[in-house]
Amino acid sequence: MALATIVEDTALPGAVVSPPLIEMRGVEKLYRTGKLEFCALRGVDLVVGPGEMVAVVGPSGSGKTTILNMITGIDRPTAGEVRVAGADLNAMSEEQLARWRGANVGIVFQFFQLLPTLTALENAALPMDFLRRWRPAERWHRARRDLAAVGLEAKGDRLPLELSGGEQQRVAIARALACDPKIIVGDEPTGNLDSTTGRAMLDLLAGLNEEGTTVLFVTHDLSLAERAPRVVTIKDGQVVADESRP
């Protein structure tokens, strides 16, 4: 039985149930290096609905980042199904995945990954340039809008090295917003920041979630994870806890 059917079957009578935005069913991931094998995921089932904010926690090497890589199509499962925003990621070619990812998922990395020779504004516009979405004038308008949303409207002409770590991460979030993604995924988005700046980044992500964007992030900081209404715990490649609070 598909996960979407399970969700519908457990709904209250008469309730309107939105289809899941993210579905992972029986997902396994086996990495091979020469004669060595490492099983990163062992039959993971995970459903995330539209508008949720979910923190994924667990020990180092537990499979947290691998789950994000499955959801974003950066990596493919060895077994199981992954559907995101109605798309079967396993059925796509690499080129199709790249374009799908650019249009549907905004990714925020721990180490920012801004292009050092481009300004903050140019970095914020990159996903739109890649997808050739909108005319150039509209791209610049939207990039300025996204920088304003993260409080950096006055620093669009700065290069990454002219910005603090927190400012660079804000540019990375603006870049993630470029194509109005359905989902924002963060892989330790606060891991390279001090605690005060890290909390500010979570405030920003929480604000985006309140506006309707689905947010899923990995963190080793349990105090930050508690900011999310739902916390999924991964251990040895399996979901060992999935807790929601009112």
Residue 181: inside a domain: yes
Q: Which residue has the tokens 């809008």?
A: 145
120 neighbors 157 (Cβ within 8 angstroms) = yes
Question: What is the percent of the chain where pLDDT is above 70?
Answer: 93
Residue 205 lies in a domain: yes
CB 228 within 8 Å of CB 53: yes
- Answer whether residue 235 is part of any domain: yes
For residue 3, pLDDT beyond 50? no
Q: How confident is the model at residue 27 (pLDDT cuts 50, 70, 90)?
A: very high
Give the number of domains in the chain.
1
Q: Is residue 7 part of a domain?
A: no
Q: Rounded CA gap, 140 and 142, in Å? A: 5
pLDDT for residue 144 is more than 70: yes
Mean pLDDT throughout 139-145?
94
Residue 10 maps to a domain? no
Q: What is the pLDDT of residues 185-200, one digit of tens each?
A: 999 888 888 888 888 8
Q: Please report which residue ranges of the chain form alpha helices under DSSP H.
A: 3-9, 64-72, 94-104, 120-131, 136-149, 165-176, 195-210, 222-225
Query: What span, in angstroms and rounded, lies between the C-alpha atoms of 27 and 37?
Result: 17
Beta bridge partners, 22, equal 48, 84
Tokens of 176: 């993630």
Q: Model's pTM, two decimal places? A: 0.84
Count CA atoms within 13 Å of residue 71 on its CB side.
33
CATH classification at residue 215: 3.40.50.300
More confident residue, 246 or 68: 68
Where in the sequence is the domain holding 204, given as residue range(s)? Answer: 51-75+93-244
**Mean pLDDT in residue range 133-157:** 92
The residue ranking higher by pLDDT, 98 or 231, is 231
Amino acid at site 97: L
